[in-house]
Amino acid sequence: MFWFNSIEHNRWLSACLQDLLDYGRKSEVKTGFACLDRDGEIDLEQPIQLYLTARMVHVFSLGVLLGVPGCRRLVEHGIRCLNQYFRDPVNGGWFDAIEHELDADGNAIPYPGRDDKRSYSHAFVLLGAASATAADRIGAHELMQDALRDSDLHWWDSQFGMVRESYNRDYSRCEDYRGINSNMHTAEAYMLVAQVTNEGEWLDRAMRILERVAEVSREYSWRLPEHFDADWKPLLGYNRENPQEAHRAYGSDVGHSFMFSRLILEARAMLKQSGKEEPEWMIPAATGMFERAREDAWRRDGAPGFAFTVDWDGKPVIRDRQAWVQFEAIGAAVTLLRVAVAEDAEAEEVEHYEHCYRAWIDFAYEHFLVRGGRIVHRLSPENKPLDLENQRLRDSVYHAVQAMLLPRLPLTPAFSVALAHGLLDKPLPEEPAHKKRFGGF
């Protein structure tokens, strides 16, 4: 029997998710949701960040739809903070980060050096607002419409079918750099918006992003370039001399390959559900990116765990294990397993993805998920925790929450819409008798 069909396994996933939501509550502050330190306390040395506050709106919207008490207030707190404190009242859009304290007039203070506008953060404003709309929270629909207008006005580049990376505060100067990370999360948000609004344009945009990603990844043996110039030409040597740069690391980030693999398959399911023909490139791209990332990064140091980045020959560059990569690998394995079952794949293929899921969720349980919902965010290549006092944590429970939900939901619709439609814990079809590993009577 598939683990996804096990009542006890789903109860375990639910318990983990409940712990993560409880842990996430600790991040609430007056102006949004803050970073937490390794002990689960508010980190006063880091600003209140737009992407994290918007992520938590998304996460707590899922909590609302799951029926978890207390989440409704947290969603509305996040929406109010995005509107009241993060909005730029002069130039429009949202500040990327603000100070913990307000000025004498009760207004937010943009964090020094972070008063710019970034499409990565904007993607989460759109995602959070769309999920809150699905959860029917006050102010959510208006926030989503504002974010869509901002996407049209500043971020979507119809020439290339991708989003731009960043602007200065008044949108007068656009950065020449283009990045895969911001486009990945924008595609995620567009796919959700398409389902919340029933407007196909947003899926069309997501498909343009996904197709370009598939094309460029295929050119490099399914390793995904991260960095590009303004004409979307890959910058393969970007940050080669500074490979540990946290936000724009040199090489290919295997976590992004796993997440794109999942998004491609979810977009394919959306197309099928709407009666449209899915392009032939989608399954080969999803499987190619998944297998390349798995082969390049899993157990490369003689111990379980994924290296964070690899070079263009597949050699690990940043060997630390990061929790979010593990959670995205779990999500990709889930989606590929569901597709394999739906497409009546050979037993060996089904068993391969099921084995990946079991091995990777075991590893997450043993190394990243701490009782009570806290996450160990980084491990050494020897799988020793690296969440030390001098290392700033900048993640949230977002990746982990989605990894705990994915095995309990169908490929489509997206998380919040699926929960709103009551699609939690619908079992996978059982294996045909001739493919069962045991018995078959």
**Angle between the 50-66 and 119-134 helix axes, to the nearest 10 degrees?**
20
The length of the chain in residues reads 441
- In angstroms, rounded to a whole number, what is the distance separating the alpha carbons of residues 56 and 35? 11
Handedness of CA 424, 20, 121, 233 (dihedral sign): negative
Considering 256, 352, 367, 377, which one is annotated as catalytic?
Answer: 256
Closest CA to 360 of 441, 290, 419, 274: 290
SS3 label, residue 98: strand
- In angstroms, rounded to a whole number, what is the distance separating the alpha carbons of residues 62 and 66? 6
Q: Which residue has the tokens 């500074």?
A: 242
Q: Which residues, 6 or more positions from 319, have their beta carbon under 8 angstroms from its beta carbon?
A: 300, 301, 307, 308, 380, 381
CB 31 within 8 A of CB 85: yes
Handedness of CA 146, 150, 153, 159 (dihedral sign): negative
- In angstroms, rounded to a whole number, what is the distance separating the alpha carbons of residues 104 and 82? 20
- In angstroms, rounded to a whole number, what is the distance separating the alpha carbons of residues 146 and 154? 12
End-to-end CA distance of the chain: 14
Q: Which residues, 6 or more positions from 363, have their beta carbon under 8 angstroms from its beta carbon?
A: 304, 305, 326
- Read off φ and ψ for residue 327, nearest 5 degrees: -70, -35
Considering 185, 352, 367, 399, which one is annotated as catalytic?
Answer: 399
CA separation, residue 132 to residues 81, 136, 139 (Å): 14, 6, 9
Angle at Cα 373 formed by Cα 370 and Cα 376, nearest 5°? 45
Active site residue 154: no
Where on the phi/psi map is residue 67: left (φ > 0), alpha (ψ -120 to 50), or beta?
Answer: left
* Identity of the amino acid at 384: K
- In angstroms, rounded to a whole number, what is the distance separating the alpha carbons of residues 109 and 306? 39
- In angstroms, rounded to a whole number, what is the distance separating the alpha carbons of residues 409 and 334? 10
SS3 label, residue 87: strand
Active site residue 256: yes
CB 147 within 8 A of CB 190: no
- Residues labelled catalytic: 256, 399
